[in-house]
Amino acid sequence: MTSPKPEETLKVALVQMCSGRDPDCNTADASALVREAAQSGAQYVLTPEVTNVMEIDREALFTAAEPENENRALRSFQNLAEELGIWLHIGSLAVRKTKDRLANRSYLISPHGSIAAQYDKLHMFDVSLANGETYAESDNYEAGSEAIVASTPWGGLGLTICYDLRFPYLFRALAQGGAKMISVPAAFTRPTGEAHWHTLLRARAIETQCFVFAAAQTGTHEHGRKTYGHSLIVSPWGEILAEAGDDPTVISADIDLSQVDVVRSRVPSLVSNRHFMLVADPELLQTN
């Protein structure tokens, strides 16, 4: 029995949020924006990273981050997807795995309310910025170990989260694994967003020749940190099809997946692979 031919067109919507410390409030805020997106005709809706809670206090974070099998936000979003009959992609939830470890986990929910795919963020955001901000995601979260390409009615969807954006080999692997679309739910800081957000997203779209969907957190959060916003939908040719500003909102675009094949036929870089051996001074390698 042959598989049904993938549909070629869909309407994509991205939800941009300013999540706070209360998971119930965040779930309600996200749900209202998801409903708005569905009412506009969106068939696939993506929310940002850590949709359920933005928290820097460890004790409060672990209290808010419920285990998957008890996660009220996840159950609520599953019911919402089924009610609206849409593919609802929760960019990520903070989910408690053990007493002292969390997962930063993305959930793709089918129109039947079932979890079609899930992905744990691979690359932890452990950085010190020039403005004095420091982040140590690995203090609380356990990194994932699998790259995921999910099946949808429109073809393969590669799953990533935020800091993964800086690792192009992951995106290339997703494209070579069958992705025609790649999701990048994020909570980019204001300084790094202003410097790199647009450039990185357009570069990943051009390199992979995929549509890229990047739903973002935005604004000043209850804990005081600021995120950049500017959710983007980018074509496989690197064109920005839709962009949000600085406020919570919904953006959308009509997507024609046939454009992926058109672009890949123009520049067949995904199949023009050359194996090589790196030659470098050992002392240079030791400094990295």
Has residue 2 been placed in a domain? no
* Domain CATH for 220: 3.60.110.10
Q: Which amino acid is at 87?
A: W
| Residue with token string 């079609």 | 116
**Total structural domains in the chain?**
1
Q: Which domain holds residue 137?
A: 9-286
Distance CA(77)–CA(109), nearest Å, equals 8
pLDDT (0 to 100) of residue 259: 97
- Which of 49, 55, 66, 210 is catalytic? The answer is 49
All residues at 6 or more sequence positions from 98 whose CB lies less than 8 Å from its CB, including other chains: none
Helix (H, G, I), strand (E, B) or coil at 158: strand
Please confirm, yes or no, whether 66 is among the known catalytic residues: no
Structure token pair of residue 48: 């940002």
b/e for 191-207, b at 16 or more Cβ within 10 A?
Answer: ebbeeebbebbbbbbbb
- CA-based nearest residue to 117, from 204, 61, 181, 26: 181
In a domain, 4, yes or no: no
Q: Which one is catalytic: 18, 55, 162, 180?
A: 162
Within a domain: 127: yes
Which amino acid appears at position 99 of this protein?
K
Residue 117 lies in a domain: yes
Please say if 162 is a catalytic residue. yes
Considering the domain boundaries, does residue 1 fall inside one?
no
Rounded (10°) angle between helices 23-39 and 72-84: 10
Question: Which residues, in sequence order, are bridge partners of residue 94?
Answer: 104
Write out residues in the chain with pLDDT < 50, as ranges. none
Backbone angles phi, psi at 104, to 5 degrees: -95, 95
Return the structure tokens found at 149: 């390409």
Q: How many CB atoms lie within 10 A of CB 278?
A: 5
Phi then psi for residue 103, to 5 deg, are -115, 140
Closest CA to 187 of 159, 217, 165: 217
User: Which positions ≥6 away from 87 have C-beta within 8 Å?
Assistant: 43, 44, 45, 81, 108, 109, 110, 111, 116, 152, 153
Q: 257 near 9, Cβ under 8 Å?
A: yes
pLDDT digits (tens, 9 = 90+) for 17-74: 999 999 999 999 999 999 999 999 999 999 999 999 999 999 999 999 999 999 999 9
Q: Is residue 160 part of a domain?
A: yes
Q: 226 an active-site residue?
A: no
The conformation of residue 165, written as its DSSP 8-state character, comes to G
* Residue among 18, 55, 121, 210 flagged as catalytic: 121
- CB atoms < 10 A from the CB of 280, how many? 8
